[in-house]
Amino acid sequence: MSDKGKVIVIGSGPIRIGQGIEFDYSCVHCVWTLRELGYEAIIINNNPETVSTDFDTSDRLFFEPLTVEDVMNIIDREEPEGVIVQFGGQTAINLAKPLHEAGVRIFGSSYDSIDLAEDRDRFDNVLRALNVAKPQGRAVTNEKDALIVAEEISYPVLVRPSYVLGGRAMELVYSRADLERYMTYVVDVSPKAPILIDKYIIGKEVEVDVISDGVDCLLPGIMEHIERAGVHSGDSMAVYPPQTLSQDVIDQIVRVATSLALRLEVRGLMNIQFVVDHETNTAMVLEVNPRASRTVPYLSKVTGIPMVKVATRAMMGVSLKEQGYTSGLHPNQGSIAVKAPVFSFLKLTQVDIGLGPEMKSTGEIMGVDTKYPLALYKAMLASGIDVPTGGNLIATIADPDKAEAVPIIRGFQEMGFHIYATAGTASYLTQRGIPVTTVHKLHEANENITSLIRSGKISLLINTLSTDKRIEREAIQIRRASVEAGVPCLTSLDTAKALLLSLATRKKGANFALATIDEYMEGRVMA
Amino acid sequence: MPKDPSIKKVLLIGSGPIIIGQAAEFDYAGAQACRSLREEGIEVVLINSNPATIMTDVEMADRVYIEPLSVEFVERIVAKERPDGIVATLGGQTGLNLATQVAEAGILERYNTRLLGTPLRAIRQAEDREEFRTLMREIGEPVPESWIITDESQLGDAIASGIWPLIVRPAYTLGGTGGGIARNVDELLTITRSGLALSMRHQVMVERYLSGWKEVEYEVMRDANDTAITVCNMENFDPMGVHTGDSIVIAPSQTLSDKEYQMLRTASLKIIRSLGIEGGCNVQLSLDPHSFAYYVIEVNPRVSRSSALASKATGYPIARVSAKIAIGLHLDEIENAVTRKTLACFEPALDYCVLKIPRWPFDKFVGADRRITTQMKATGEVMAIDRAFEPALMKAIRSLEVGIYGLANKTGHTLSDMELEEAIRVPHDERLWSITEGFRRGMMVEEINALSNVDPWFLRKLEGLVNLETRLKVNAPAFKQMSKALESEEEEAQEPLEERFGSAVRLLREAKRMGFADRTVSEFAGMSEGKLRKLRKHLGIVPVYKMVDTCAAEFEALTPYYYSCYDTEDE
Amino acid sequence: MKAILALEDGTLFEGQSLGATGRTNGEVVFNTGMTGYQEILTDPSYAGQIVTLTYPLIGNYGINPDDFESRRVQVEGFVVREAAEIASNWRSKQTLDSFLKERGIIGIQGIDTRALTRALRVRGVMMGAISTEDTPESLLEHIRNAPGYGSKDLARQVTAEQSYRWRVGDTKPVSAGSVSEVKPRYHIALLDFGVKYNILRSLANLGCETTVYPCTVTAEEVLRANPDGIFLSPGPGDPEQYGYMVDTVRQLVGKKPIMGVCMGNQILGYAFGSKTFKLKFGHRGSNHPVKDLNTGRVYITSQNHGYAVDPDRLKDGMEVAHINLNDGTVEGLRHKELPIFSIQYHPEASPGPSDSAYFFHQYINMLDRHYGRS
């Protein structure tokens, strides 16, 4: 029996899209840290697949549902000092309010801090008070207001219901008609269920986790997304440390993150997502999650900072200073890490694989090396985009993306790929000096783009998403064909560009490093 | 035999990213294996591309490589680390496939290392359809009759067999497009023709369709001394035709008599022995609900999702024990980590009912095909434990976090009777609630069994729950009255609530014992959940907690692994 | 209807009636098998005992005509947490409750059987009673006045009234006068201390015809029939009570090859100079690991015994061949020279795993060797 008393850690429940294994990782580390600190650590969870429900992970394991009732029953019996809700994803954080109201002590950020970050109006006030930029936008409770707000901030806009995880029903909306469709068919809007409408900012997305003890704020590292804003952060590739951000932007991020953490009185972890407006170079806040995020295990491993351990200690009253950390961004470590999403589209028939603001990936992997292109290649390979450095490529590019696609396609062609394209893309590329074989669209002939994909001769499909619903209907079928034929399909030019870079490196005969994770972390790997 | 002294350093292959069919269970398995091997003084080298795992923590293994799971990188690690052996049976299908490729590339010989535990031959025999069928025939275990067809003229043997219905599956197409069930020659010809046209290799498989048969799984373990045990058996709520990963699963089996249980257990042990597996293995069988006839469906020669479930359902750490077997230990040399008094060589006895429900991603993929078939679609699962089936089911339902807390989903009541029958007949993610809606509309166990082939025992349980739900809806307002009486009681002393509201108190007690959530009951009563909770506590209707101890209380256990129930004794 | 279960130490459980009403007493024991209640109910070794099953859901697959292990229900009382309302299995003919009612067996359901099991584990098995008509006080009084388990000759209560024959191919008992249609490979004389049918079926499947003798039979009578082998059956009760059987067996030793099971093992232990001691809560279940000391292999076995042979007192060439992996107690004996072996657990399974069925083959092999056949 521990003299410090008991602490209950709320687990994350079943693995689902948006709430994966990362949260179990965090819960387990939290439990271990509590035990090290001398607490009796109790875990409640209901997922049989996990380490957290292994019988020797905690001092006590309760295999129970994660509802208020079931959790309160255990609290009544165990009479813990308090409960930790920061590591079990949205499942756990959702319990903060009822547990707080029942008089249960929440370790770490208080319920009020959590609410401050999650309540759109309160949060907007905080941002205003701190003079922090965010994309223009508002919460609305009916369709009429939605249309007014959208006109005001101008299309395209990002729409989503408030209080959601993993971007459910989040969409990029380009027109009034589109918004009407969204408000009518996709969501139920009401004063109780407001819809958030934000200006869609074209730019880099950046993610950062902050650990705070209320005095100091440590940023273990910044992750820069490879795909531009608009693709859900869980579906984006991301790199640590950032490869294209200016020092000024990094400084903005550190400053904003620190002031927000202090203002929200964060104890433990908080995750902030930014978009860097490419015109003004301003880091704007997209979203704040007052809890451990999906990126915690990745950053922990590449920065060498055991983030959950540090955060748990901070929550339990061991200051960052006592732990040997200071405020600010932790210096970059010796290697480059690229995180990439992995999808399970093969198993999910009739699901469109095009990426957007709604999360679709089921898992993630990481590639580490001494240089960005090398880490990128490893990440591509590990995530299943195992493309040779030559072969046949099909490109079907939406009109707005065509100009940007030219150098990328040319790159593939110069590397040794033969390019196939549908009529529009083909003529655009041919005019710009890229030799292309035209393929028929679905309705044009029996020998068409999908039969070509199924022929087994194609190594890669690049298909950017169109805003034209008519084109998209056919594009969905093409993308499904690629999934079923096992042909990697990229729907973002950013990913295509990254793949090109990594393949080029591979072709040059790159020397991939091979090292243990601590060797990478400690910079002991020679380039 | 104690552990093989020639093994000092081992490479453990992880399972990579989370995908449908390969979720967190392999982190659980890998983390257990790391600990298990290091306990024996073995240096563990680990490769996994997924850093969001406990197994890739620097504390877990001696050398952690977060590198792509490819032959190239494994070879480089083997060359650098020179492990004495490779453990590949804990990294899911990914790990197993990679190990097979590594072995086929001659890397084992080149660096003088070997696969530990289950030999490569066993993996091939279990994974290759034809080799597996040959082996099963040799040892006299029945496999469903099947024929590979590349031209419709080859259907003669299948037709001559007189087996109906037959299922036609096009080879090398995913999602089962183009297949179907044939009940006569005409249907067989039609479906085969369309299947051949859709198959990339112009090939279909025609197989006996075990329509309505029970699906049962056994988790078995074997050591190098040929001692073999079963850890657990599990029965699928959904009959044949639904992937185990997409099926509601109950442990232990509920509707098998001892003769049936032992018959399938004996078959499973015979199979693990014939394959020569050293470690854990999962055997899937199909049992005729009307005779002793059964078929062997599939064997996974490795630790699987089912092993994780079986481990949590029984307390028996399959991965931990498998890892020890891989380095030469025998089952009777391994401690039962739960009791620490007995050994790993025994079969767990459960004194509770375990239920697993898959968690599907259809809340995200609104447009997806929600029917569940032989291709797994769930991303995760929940498990619940209780002393009876009903409360375990109710707990599992509210663990899913799909906005359903009881016996009704959002759409069930909107269906026409015909639509509802279809929703009961065709498996989909919310079929459970289609069935309860059926009972709510007065359908009989026999009718629903005829539509769904779900065993009447399970259906009777669901019917009983629906009946209780009806009684609750009618009588729950009494709970509100009790709650009001309780609030006013401070002022005027009255006789106890139990006396005044005897039948309501009994009903509430029964509802809780059967697993109804406060949330549901309070909704029926028209009161807040908080008030119901207060009332419940006042009446002393609170759960007790019991231990999962692997041995049904026969021995004292030290492991603090608990579940709630509304029984009497709290441990 | 309400029912109560009382233990002799005063512990009380309140539940609902299962099966017949009335009052019954016996030694309260638990079995951890998750299936096989019909076999357990009809196993004569449970005579004198009230059996609780640790698995909470009992009766799911009903009662069928084929899984009887003796002519009648043998338990004194039956305790479950939940008896199934419907029986779901193709062989089932009736529900557990209706069966118990029909057979006049008093049971109780709806109690916390895990709490009961824990009580028995901690305090040891003890006498108890189930009643639908008593107050707790009157029931405890009844227990105090009832004879203790160890004081009864339960074998005499369950043994065959007169000898009968079990022919090759039989699955049920037939009368003594029947003539075998198949020429048996061996004639076996089985001393019935409380035999289970599946032992007789197992022997019949291997081509043996068995004559089943009441436990009071004399050695002379057995030898007069000139059987090829002797089989000592399982049975209920404290072996300390069974001096007369030990005497009979002593006279058979060296005359014919002998195999013993359960009580048979214990009687052989006495015949070779040893005694038995009572286990705190016995071994009852389908999951007990037993190690063959010769091969090192471990088998999962079906067990039902409350006493164990003292290994230190064995003499005259008898040695321990099998031990229980959980507590190290004796699970099998083997004679160094004579064709005699016995096991404490149940090779006939039913219920439980059939992993030990090889003992029947071993017995036949022993007979083959003894009689010079191959």
- Residue-level pLDDT at A350: 78
d(CA B431, CA B423): 6
pTM across the whole model:
0.95
If you measure CA to CA, which chain B residue comes closest to A483? B174
Task: Answer yes or no: do C54 and B569 touch at CB < 8 A.
Answer: no
pLDDT reading at B178 higher than 70: no
- Residue-level pLDDT at B174: 47
pLDDT confidence tier of residue C325, bands split at 50, 70 and 90: very high
- Residue-level pLDDT at A484: 80
pLDDT digits (tens, 9 = 90+) for B512-553: 999 999 999 999 999 999 999 999 999 999 999 999 999 999
- Residue-level pLDDT at B519: 96
- Residue-level pLDDT at B374: 80
Query: Of C151, C182, C205, which one is at a domain's C-terminal end?
Result: C151
pLDDT digits (tens, 9 = 90+) for A406-445: 999 999 999 999 999 999 999 999 999 999 999 998 888 8
pLDDT reading at A173 higher than 50: yes
Task: Answer yes or no: do B457 and C33 touch at CB < 8 A.
Answer: no
Task: Answer yes or no: do C121 and B553 touch at CB < 8 A.
Answer: yes
B145-208: which CATH topology?
Answer: Dna Ligase; domain 1 (3.30.1490)
d(CA B43, CA B47): 14
Report the candidate in A376, A383, A333, A380 with the shortest Cα–Cα distance to residue A525.
A333
- Residue-level pLDDT at A181: 85
pLDDT confidence tier of residue A25, bands split at 50, 70 and 90: very high
pLDDT digits (tens, 9 = 90+) for B157-166: 999 998 998 9
Strands C77-80 and C49-53: parallel
CA distance C251 to chain B (A): 38
pLDDT reading at C294 higher than 80: yes
Q: Tell me which of A187-191, B143-147, C44-48 is least confident.
A: A187-191
Question: Is residue C102 domain-shared with residue C131, that is, in the same domain?
Answer: yes
Question: Is residue C146 domain-shared with residue C201, that is, in the same domain?
Answer: no
Question: Is residue C147 domain-shared with residue C164, that is, in the same domain?
Answer: no
Question: Is residue C330 domain-shared with residue C210, that is, in the same domain?
Answer: yes
What Cα–Cα distance (Å) separates residue A229 from each residue in A248, A343, A384?
20, 19, 23
Q: Tell me which of A128-142, A276-290, B46-60, B477-491 is least confident.
A: B477-491
> To probe the interface with B, which of A6, A52, A69 has the most B CB atoms within 10 Å?
A69
pLDDT reading at A465 higher than 50: yes
Domain extent for C214? 154-370
If you measure CA to CA, which chain A residue comes closest to B517? A69
Structurally, chain C folds into a number of domains equal to 2
Question: Is residue C182 domain-shared with residue C230, that is, in the same domain?
Answer: yes
CA angle centred on B255, ends B570 and B271, rounded to 5°: 105
Query: What are the structure tokens assigned to A271, written together?
Result: 């995750």
Domains B9-116 and B214-239+253-343 share a fold: no
- Residue-level pLDDT at A526: 64
- Residue-level pLDDT at B175: 46
* Other CB atoms within 10 A of residue A105 CB: 12
What residues contact residue A258 under an 8 Å CB cut-off, 6+ apart?
A210, A217, A219, A327, A328
Sign of CA dihedral A407, A408, A409, A413: positive
pLDDT reading at A282 higher than 50: yes
- Residue-level pLDDT at A481: 87
- Residue-level pLDDT at B1: 54
Q: What CATH number has the domain bearing residue C267?
A: 3.40.50.880
Indicate the helix (H) or strand (E) that contains B312.
Answer: helix B305-314
Query: Of C151, C166, C201, which one is at a domain's C-terminal end?
Result: C151
B214-239+253-343: which CATH topology?
Answer: D-amino Acid Aminotransferase; Chain A, domain 1 (3.30.470)
Question: Is residue C177 domain-shared with residue C61, that is, in the same domain?
Answer: no
Question: Is residue C117 domain-shared with residue C164, that is, in the same domain?
Answer: no
Q: Tell me which of A141-145, B348-352, C108-112, C133-137 is least confident.
A: A141-145
pLDDT digits (tens, 9 = 90+) for C126-164: 999 999 999 999 999 999 999 999 999 999 999 999 999
- Residue-level pLDDT at B259: 97
Active site (catalytic) residues of C: 262, 346, 348
> To probe the interface with A, which of B54, B62, B306 has the most A CB atoms within 10 Å?
B54
pLDDT digits (tens, 9 = 90+) for C202-246: 999 999 999 999 999 999 999 999 999 999 999 999 999 999 999
pLDDT reading at C19 higher than 90: yes
Evaluate whether chains B and C are touching (3 or more beta carbon pairs less than 8 Å apart). Answer: yes
pLDDT reading at B82 higher than 60: yes
Across chain C, mean pLDDT equals 95
pLDDT digits (tens, 9 = 90+) for B121-135: 998 898 887 889 999
Task: Answer yes or no: do A70 and B174 touch at CB < 8 A.
Answer: no
CA distance A35 to chain B (A): 15
Residues written for chain C: 374
CA distance C255 to chain B (A): 36
CA distance A244 to chain B (A): 24
pLDDT digits (tens, 9 = 90+) for B428-456: 999 999 999 999 999 999 999 999 999 99
Question: Is residue C334 domain-shared with residue C198, that is, in the same domain?
Answer: yes
Residues in C closer than 8 angstroms to B330, CB to CB, are 296, 298
Q: Chain B, 24-43: which have a CB under 8 Å from a chain C CB?
A: none
Question: Is residue C230 domain-shared with residue C306, that is, in the same domain?
Answer: yes
3-state helix, strand, coil in chain A (%, to 5): 35, 25, 40
CB of B244 closer than 8 Å to CB of B362: no
Task: Answer yes or no: do B262 and C351 touch at CB < 8 A.
Answer: yes
Q: What CATH number has the domain bearing residue C118?
A: 3.50.30.20
Percent of chain C with pLDDT over 90: 94
Indicate the helix (H) or strand (E) that contains A284.
Answer: strand A282-289
- Top pLDDT among A525 and C136 is at C136
Question: Is residue C200 domain-shared with residue C295, that is, in the same domain?
Answer: yes
Which numeric CATH code is attached to B9-116?
3.40.50.20
Report the candidate in C64, C11, C16 with the shortest Cα–Cα distance to residue C41.
C64
- Residue-level pLDDT at A2: 57
If you measure CA to CA, which chain B residue comes closest to C54? B351
pLDDT reading at C83 higher than 60: yes
CB of B221 closer than 8 Å to CB of B281: yes
Q: Chain B, 265-284: which have a CB under 8 Å from a chain C CB?
A: 265-266, 269
pLDDT reading at C300 higher than 50: yes
Query: Of C123, C151, C179, which one is at a domain's C-terminal end?
Result: C151
3-state helix, strand, coil in chain B (%, to 5): 40, 20, 40
pLDDT digits (tens, 9 = 90+) for B285-337: 999 999 999 999 999 999 999 999 999 999 999 999 999 999 999 999 998 87
Question: Phi-psi region for residue A509, left (φ > 0), alpha (ψ -120 to 50) or beta?
Answer: left
d(CA B435, CA B462): 8
What Cα–Cα distance (Å) separates residue B514 from each residue in A54, B351, B445?
27, 17, 19
Question: Is residue C13 domain-shared with residue C142, that is, in the same domain?
Answer: yes
pLDDT reading at C180 higher than 70: no
Whether chain C has a CB inside 8 Å of the CB on B262: the answer is yes
- Residue-level pLDDT at B326: 94
What does the pLDDT average to over A185-212?
A: 86
Question: Is residue C245 domain-shared with residue C300, that is, in the same domain?
Answer: yes
Query: What are the structure tokens assigned to C128, written together?
Result: 């108890």
Of B379, B396, B559, the CB nearest to A55: B559
Among all chains, which residue has been given the structure tokens 């951890």? C32
3-state helix, strand, coil in chain C (%, to 5): 25, 35, 40
Across chain B, mean pLDDT equals 92
Query: What are the structure tokens assigned to B31, written together?
Result: 């983390």
pLDDT reading at A195 higher than 50: yes
Instruction: Give the domain ranges of chain B.
Output: 9-116, 145-208, 214-239+253-343, 476-540
pLDDT confidence tier of residue A166, bands split at 50, 70 and 90: very low
Domains observed in chain A: 6-107 (3.40.50.20), 136-199 (3.30.1490.20), 203-333 (3.30.470.20), 363-507 (3.40.50.1380)
Percent of chain A with pLDDT over 70: 98
